[in-house]
Structure 1
Amino acid sequence: MPNPLDVLVAAGVLVRDPATGSVLLQLRGDNATWGLPGGRLEPGETLEQAARRELLEETGLTAGEMTRIDVYSGPEFVVRYPDGFAAYVVGATFETADFTGTIGTDADGESAALEWFDPSDLPSEINPYNRLLLRRAGVGH
């Protein structure tokens, strides 16, 4: 029998530029793929609190009004990390075009880069998990 996967609860944020409709993606420092800013909940946090915290930590942006656009689970949401750890993720995606701050990568290297992309011209190096999240949010193909 295979080892059961750990279950992680996570939240991410689809950030849209209110002027252009471009979406902000994060180049992960651990696997060099693009995706949404986000991460796991800390004990006692709500999904929205985790999304706001992760957005600030990974991008330097503080979200104003956010809307929950997806809650997800299922076998397609297994994440495999470069160190070999794999987990089944249950989570939520929020969206905002209301933010303040200056975009900057985090000091711990989790974000190698941050860039705005036209939703019809996303990079090919999006990891499968985030490609699915974006597709469910109506972004990309």
Structure 2
Amino acid sequence: MKRDRIQIDDSWYQRPLGVRESISAGGIIAREDSGTIYIAAVREASKVKNAAYVLPKGRLEAGETIEEAARREIAEEAGLTDLTLLAELGILERLDFRKRSWKIIHYFLYRTAQIEGKPTDTTIDYQLHWFPLDELPPFFWPEQRQLIEKNMELIRESLKRDR
């Protein structure tokens, strides 16, 4: 399955019987610059031409808390490590990319002052990009964009409070 040819439809959000569960964590990372709020998104460098963006997230590893997993995944995929937790955003569920496991994904909202990030995952060439909150790019997973849109006011208010 090639990501650039896949269209995510309702079938990814319907849990088949007998599919195993996988716990994941990630987040929305926001920063403010000259009054504009920016959101971090990543994509694979090898698919830059037509690739849609994703929020950094991934599987929980043994011994990690869910929030520790979110921070590790953000470091691996976006290279951002100077994170301040602002809020828990809840849980979203769907099938994984290959439709082999049911992902239970915990999302958090973080603030950072970091602009540049060097992803620590050496197996995939991730690229970090920043987008104004009101000018979001296409996202591969529709629920990730919806999560940002649903929480726009919380993002704005949290960044104001956290100054």
TM-score by length of 1: 0.76
In the alignment, structure 1 residue 137 sits paired with structure 2 residue 151: yes
Determine the structure 1 residue equivalent to 2:109: 95
Alignment of 1:61-100 (within 5 A): 61-73=80-92, 77-81=93-97, 84-100=98-114
Name the amino acid aligned to 1:23.
Answer: I
Query: Is the contact between residue 87 and residue 110 of structure 2 (CA under 8 Å) also seen in structure 1?
Result: no
User: Which of 57, 81, 101 is the equivalent residue of 2:76?
Assistant: 57
Unaligned runs of 5+ in 1: none
Secondary structure of the 2:95 match is strand
Unaligned runs of 5+ in 2: 1-15, 154-163
RMSD (Å), alpha carbons: 2.6
Query: Is the contact between residue 23 and residue 118 of structure 1 (CA under 8 Å) also seen in structure 2?
Result: yes
Between the aligned residues of both structures, percent identity stands at: 27
Determine the structure 2 residue equivalent to 1:39: 58
Q: Residue by residue, what CA displacement relative to the aligned partner does 1:112-133 show, whole Å, maximum 9, x if unpaired?
A: x221111221112432242233
Cα displacement (A) at 1:53:
0.6
Q: Residue by residue, what CA displacement relative to the aligned partner does 1:50-77 show, whole Å, maximum 9, x if unpaired?
A: 011111111221133213332214xxx2
Query: Is the contact between residue 68 and residue 92 of structure 1 (CA under 8 Å) also seen in structure 2?
Result: no
Determine the structure 2 residue equivalent to 1:108: 123
Q: Residue by residue, what CA displacement relative to the aligned partner does 1:84-106 show, whole Å, maximum 9, x if unpaired?
A: 34332223211122355831344
Secondary structure of the 1:120 match is coil
Cα displacement (A) at 1:16:
0.9
TM-score by length of 2: 0.67
Within 1, Cα distance between the matches of 2:61 and 2:46? Answer: 20
Secondary structure of the 1:133 match is helix
Cα displacement (A) at 1:45:
0.7
